[in-house]
Amino acid sequence: MTIRLGFQIPNFSYGTGVAELFPTVIAQAREAEAAGFDSVFLMDHFYQLPMLGTPDQPMLEAYTALGALATATEKVQLGTLVTGNTYRNPTLLTKAITTLDVVSGGRAILGIGTGWFELEHEQLGFEFGTFTDRFNKLEEALQIILPMIAGERVTVDGTYYRTKDAFANPRLRDHIPLMIGGSGEKKTFGLAARHFDHLNIIAGFPELPGKLAALAQRCEEVDRDPATLETSVLVSVVAGE
In this predicted structure, the answer to whether residue 224 has a pLDDT above a threshold of 90 is yes
CATH architecture of the region 6-176: Alpha-Beta Barrel (3.20)
User: How much of the chain, in percent, has pLDDT values that exceed 90?
Assistant: 89
What pLDDT digit, counting tens, does each position of 157-194 carry? 999 999 999 999 999 999 999 999 999 999 999 999 99
pLDDT of 16 reads: 87
User: Hey, where are the domains in the chain?
Assistant: 6-176
Query: How far is it, in rounded angstroms, from Cα 36 to Cα 55?
Result: 32
3-state secondary structure of 8: strand
Kindly report the three-state secondary structure assignment for every residue of 73-128.
CCCCEEEECCEEHHHCCHHHHHHHHHHHHHHHCCCEEEEEECCCCHHHHHHHCCCC
What pLDDT digit, counting tens, does each position of 51-97 carry? 899 999 999 999 999 999 999 999 999 999 999 999 999 999 999 99
For residue 2, name the pLDDT band (cuts at 50, 70, 90): confident
pLDDT of 164 reads: 98
For residue 226, name the pLDDT band (cuts at 50, 70, 90): very high
In this predicted structure, the answer to whether residue 240 has a pLDDT above a threshold of 70 is no
Query: How far is it, in rounded angstroms, from Cα 7 to Cα 42?
Result: 9
CB 234 within 8 A of CB 202: yes
> Which string of DSSP letters, residue by residue, matches 148-167?
HHTT--EEEE-SS-EEEEE-
What pLDDT digit, counting tens, does each position of 3-30 carry? 899 999 999 998 889 999 999 999 999 9
Long-range contacts (CB closer than 8 Å, 24 or more residues apart) made by 95-102: 95/168, 96/63, 97/63, 97/149, 97/176, 98/148, 98/149, 98/168, 98/170, 98/171, 98/172, 98/176, 99/67, 100/63, 100/66, 100/67, 100/70, 101/171, 101/172, 101/173, 101/176, 102/170, 102/171, 102/172
In this predicted structure, the answer to whether residue 241 has a pLDDT above a threshold of 80 is no
Mean pLDDT of 201-212: 93
| pTM for this model (two decimals) | 0.93
What pLDDT digit, counting tens, does each position of 103-158 carry? 999 999 999 999 999 999 999 999 999 999 999 999 999 999 999 999 999 999 99
